[in-house]
Amino acid sequence: MNEDRVLALAGIFQGCALAHQLATRGSCDEVALEHSLGSVFRIDADNVPAVFGGIAGARLGLRTLTEQFDDSRHELAIARMAVTVLRVERTLSGRARLMQQLQEGIVQAQRQADHFGYTHATVTARLADLYASTISTLRPRVMVSGSPLLLQQQNVVERIRSSLLAAVRAAVLWRQIGGRQWQLILKRKQCAMIARGLLTGATLDSG
C-alpha cells in the first residue's frame, strides 16, 4: 500500500461520506464536495493528488478512512457504500460501451462545470443524470440510507448521485494504480497509518 493508493481510496470514502451526509442531514461538507466533483473532470491529471486538487482536497476522505479502520468509530453505512462502489467499478470496467458513454457524458458536462462551477445545481443535475443512465444500471446498486423526506428532494438526490459518481471515479483510479480489495483486509493498519500521515500533512499545508 502506498500514498497514491491510499489517496485514491480516500476519494472513494469521501464520495460515500458526502452521500451519507446529504442523505442524513440534507447538507454536506461543501469544500469536500467541490474537490470530489472536480475530480470527476480531472481525467488527465498529472498525478493522483492533482485529481483531488491536492492532498487537502481529500481531507474528508482521509479522515473517514482512518475512522473506518477504527472499530469504535466507523460508520457502517459508509463502509457498505464504499465496498459496493468497488464492486460496481469492477463490473463497469468490463463494460466498454458503458464506460465510453460515461466518459462522453463527463466531457459534455465539462463546459457547464467550467462556466457555473462544480457544485452548481446545473452541473450536479447533469452528473446525476449521467450516473442514473450508466452506473445505476449496474448491479449491485449502491444503496443509500437516510431520511425518507430528504431522499425525496430532487436537489439532495442529485447531489448524492453526483457524489457517488465521484466515488466511482476514485475507484477507477484506485484500480488503475494497483488497488485491490484484499489490500483493505490485509493492510488495514498500514493503510490507516499512511492516511493519518497524509491527513497531518494536509492540515499543516493548509495552516
pLDDT digits (tens, 9 = 90+) for 27-58: 999 999 999 999 999 988 999 999 999 999 99
Counting the structural domains of the chain, the total is 1
Whether the full predicted model's pTM is greater than 0.85, yes or no, is: yes
Range of the domain at 44: 3-205
Residue 182's pLDDT is what?
84
CATH classification at residue 44: 1.10.3890.10
Residue 71's pLDDT is what?
65
Residue 97's pLDDT is what?
95
pLDDT in tens, 87-111: 999 999 999 999 999 999 999 999 9
Residue 194's pLDDT is what?
95
Query: Buried (b) or exposed (e) across 171-180, using 16+ Cβ within 10 A?
Result: bbbbbeeebe
For 195: left if phi > 0, alpha if psi spans -120 to 50, otherwise beta; the answer is: alpha
With a cut of 70, list the residues of the chain below it in pLDDT. Answer: 71-73, 204-207
Residue 207's pLDDT is what?
47
CA–CA gap between residue 23 and residue 95 (Å, rounded): 29
CA–CA gap between residue 119 and residue 107 (Å, rounded): 16
DSSP letters for 56-81? GGGHHHHHHHHHHTSTTT--HHHHHH
